[in-house]
Amino acid sequence: MQTKFRNSLIQGVAFAALLSTAAYAQPATSGEDAVKVEEIVVVGSQIKGAKTTASLPVTVMDNSQIIATGAVSGDDLFRSIPIMGDVFINPSNAAQTSNSTRGDVNSINLRSLGVGNTLVLLNGRRLVSHPTSQSSGTVPLLGYNANAIPTANLERLEILRDGAAAIYGADAVAGVVNTVLQSDFDGLTVDAQYGWAEGTHRKEYSSNIYGGKNFADGRGNISINANFTERTAQRPSDRPYTANQDLRPLFAGFTAFAGSAAPDNRGNQNSFANFTVVGAGGIVRQGTTALTTAAGAGHIQPNNIVGCGAQLSNGLCLGSGNLATASTANFLRYNAPQNDAITVAPKISRQNVFFNGHFDISETLTAYGELGYYHAQSEALTTQGTSLVAIGVPASNYFNPFGIAVFANGQVNPNRLANLSTNVPATGRAVTFTNYRFNDLGPNKVEVENYQTRFLAGLKGEKSGFNWDSAILYSKADAKDESDGIDSKQLAAQLALSTPDAYNPFNGGCLDGEGGRDCTPSSKAALDAIRFRLKRHSTTTLTLADFKVSKPDLLTIWAGDVGVAAGVEFRHETQQDRRDPQVDGRTPFTDPVTGLTSNSNVTGVNDTPSTKGSRDVGSAFIEFALPLVSPEMNIPLVRRIDVQLAGRMEEYSDFGSVAKPKVAFAWDVVDGLRVRGSWQQGFRAPNLETTNPFSYARTNTVTDYYRCEADLKAGRIATFGACSRGVGIRFTTAGNPKLKAEESESYSVGLVLQPTFIPERFGRFTFTADRWQIEQEGIVGTLGSRNIAVQDYLARLSGASNENVIRAAPTVDDVAFFAGTGLAPVGQILEIRDQFKNLQPQTVSGVDLGLDWNLRTKSYGRFSVNIDASYMDKFSQELAPPIQALFDARAAGKINPATPLSDPSDLLRKNGKPEWKGSSTMTWRDGPYQIGASVLYTSSMQDTDLLAVDGTPWRVKSLTTANLYAQYRFQSEGLLSETRLRLGARNIFDKDPPLSSSGYIGSIYNPYARYWYLNVSKSF
């Protein structure tokens, strides 16, 4: 193992970037300030007091820059950083299912490499990951919760824009985020802030307490940083792009896209059930009028549209075949946001309290500690459950129109249709119903409670010229998710009743098709009987112990002092996901009518087993800072060269060992001009949920493109893009014990210019430009339900089929549907099967640009400007062979040219991966006055889900938003002394997020425009 580690370091010796000293761009400081700066260990190096950290591509936001963003939560803050990628885990992502990460959670994702590729630290040590996984393309991902990180009274936020596996461990593929809290404070500051998003119900109140106390004649200090936030929910009706799932009217003015059904995000599952009469053996009639097809299929619909066969009460009727949601009954597709039956963002109550303290036991020994507590409660509304499979209704059901003629108690069935054909005897027929949403239960109330605790105790000191630091950390995160569920056994019991308290699936919904409600619900007794609270409890823990030493001057060589850092670390990580007994396989359900058995007893929720796992990780690292050339050597055009060499070995109890190197360099050509570069390797092990040898199922909606082809050939639609043959399916994903590790290799090369020729009266300037590239191999993923459905479409056009697409046997109705198209009839898609795989390599590259300007004047105050921009010129994966075959088929005309395919060979500028992101902060201070502003720019992207007739994707426009605040601090003696007033606005020019087929891209943008806030603080 040691040989492997040594060889990895030798093979990895290549030059990379180390900027030596922060003195280039720093304004003059007092001696006291200078000492404080020397004690800071910035992210990127473990050598305390060395000059290497300023040489790394690190973005540092100080307190004034953080204030300029107007951030209230961690998510607000991280979204303002240009290299931050899409926020995959967010409240708008799949909030309708308990299989998602819900509540006060937002992920952190540098360079859009994906959740889990960014290491997040607090005061230089790891955070515990959030315990609930979120599926990306059915791949479960675990990450850090940005909202669990305090944002008030931060000292600084550090973002290492470079791989750092050799320094911090194998998680830091895209980089490292380190949040540094203020400490060693003597005094008390309290503030209160009220903010609101203009034109919405979103209101936010937060208060902060920052206090500290020195003791033992200044040898010790204890400080507290506490935040309390209350936020109201945002409703769909607040903004036009969230108020309606049918967004086609917003695209009506764009001719090439006006005919596309993609912006119609309404669901086909509504309160108007499709049903099948069991065992009828042919068409069921009332007199001579056909009520069903030959397969016994019928539906419920309003009686004011064509298709009625038999009249029911409340303006309803029975019709033959399935509900025509693609034509005459299109207005009945379920529109979840109507009547504010769901929430766009949940109601939040958040408390974040953090204590830190230290005590100097002696001049060379200090004890320190941290105590953190995060708690958040959220309330949200989402949609009710649906019928994933056919649900049986016995002949005894009180409302069954084909039911028994006389109930067991002798009562005549008032709801059985008169004059039914002889294939419906007096004993009645059971029916099954599908395509049904239980809207009469009302909105589904989702309550999530998140906890996160952090305990750290450590000692640090100095011995024989070495700085040493050792600590023990324990952190735990809990997530408790509760939502409405439908008990399948209780539902079956209610469906069997012969009284008015039976559940009634034949009562339809609202005749006008409005979503978010049911105008004819079942009785309260029926609803209360079938509803229960579905629970999920997830936990992660992190136990960490480390010991590290550093010395900036281990020895002196020809060019100066050699710095060194070394250390060992042990981590014990656990994860447990405890699912409700009703869904984890302990309470199976067998439908008494159909005989179908499910491991889940919750209607509309697939079975998911409870999981748990743990691992131990032992690691050791070493880092050297080597000066190769110094200014005193007087070498032309080589003023200084510094090199960083680092390596880390990690041993996993469940995976094996890994060793990763890093090499970096900084070459000062002349005073004020530096060339820097780095090369490193990284590593990410597949998580336990992907390697376990079991399958789990999820509900999904997929378009049946083979039926779309039939619609086009039959003339039922004008274009392929107008197809709306979405069908709810069971999507089963299998774990893969043979998964391999994800490996990465990255480099960066850059310039730092700090011009000395500009007179000091014009301020101090720093310009940076860094070229970077990250290559990953073996990314864990799946082919995805859409690609597999397209595979089936292609196969069936050539007379074959796809074994991973499970269809029902074609009924006589299916035969009629395909008649005259020249296509072989098939049944409905029931299930699509997939498996986790190591997919093809991924390459991401780009350029980071930066400008810092600071100016102090005697008459006009202090000015500071910080501009950061990230340009991404490549984001691609090599196409897996099965997907390449689909692109080849589309190019050859074997499938329709408007067939949507996700092209991983060029993901740039598509679906949340913009080419450019930039931000700037500007601050002016003069006495009691302070004005701050920030600007955030995101370039345009393509929405590949919305295609024109010729296959051109919709262009999601670029967006530039500006934030502004003004502050006044009272300096006079009296009650208002040290009182500060701040008035500000985020997105001051009131710009809504650009339009996409889903309304807006929630992983990039917020669902509101201008946000005002007023802050009042008082220091004592």
What pLDDT score does 573 carry?
92
CATH architecture for segment(s) 32-238+344-383+446-484+535-694+737-772+839-1019: Beta Barrel (2.40)
Distance CA 115, CA 126 (A): 16
| Cβ atoms of residues 44 and 56 within 8 Å | yes
What pLDDT score does 33 carry?
33
Q: CA–CA distance from 346 to each of 10, 145, 204, 349 (Å)? A: 52, 16, 12, 10
Distance CA 584, CA 807 (A): 26
Q: CA–CA distance from 341 to each of 69, 503, 583, 812, 813 (Å)? A: 32, 22, 25, 38, 35
| Cβ atoms of residues 385 and 486 within 8 Å | yes
Helix, strand, or coil (residue 195): strand
Helix, strand, or coil (residue 763): coil
- Computed over its alpha carbons, how large is the radius of gyration of the chain? 32
Taking 70 as the pLDDT cut, the residues of the chain under it are: 1-43, 49-55, 92-99, 136-138, 170, 903-904
Percent of the chain residues past pLDDT 90, beyond the cut: 63
What pLDDT score does 98 carry?
67
Distance CA 407, CA 426 (A): 10
| Cβ atoms of residues 468 and 547 within 8 Å | yes
What pLDDT score does 867 carry?
94
- In angstroms, the first-to-last Cα distance of the chain is 57
- The residue whose two tokens read 């230089």 is 124
Q: What helix, strand, coil percent values describe the chain, rounded to 5?
A: 15, 45, 40
Question: What are the residue ranges spanned by the domains of the chain?
Answer: 32-238+344-383+446-484+535-694+737-772+839-1019, 240-343+386-445+487-534, 695-734+783-835
- The residue whose two tokens read 């679906």 is 911
| Cβ atoms of residues 157 and 61 within 8 Å | yes
According to the 3-state scheme, what is the secondary structure of 633-653?
HCECCECEEEEEEEEEEEEEC
Helix, strand, or coil (residue 175): strand
Distance CA 47, CA 335 (A): 58
pLDDT tens digits for 119-144?
Answer: 999 999 999 999 988 776 667 778 89
Q: What is the DSSP letter of 400?
A: -
Helix, strand, or coil (residue 617): strand
DSSP 29-64: --HHHHHHHHH---TT---TT-S-GGGS-EEEEEHH
Strand 953-956 relative to strand 139-141: parallel, antiparallel, unpaired? unpaired
- Taking the model in full, what pTM does it have? 0.85
Task: Provide the β-strand partners of residue 17.
Answer: 665
According to the 3-state scheme, what is the secondary structure of 723-741?
CCCEEEEEEEEECCCCCCC
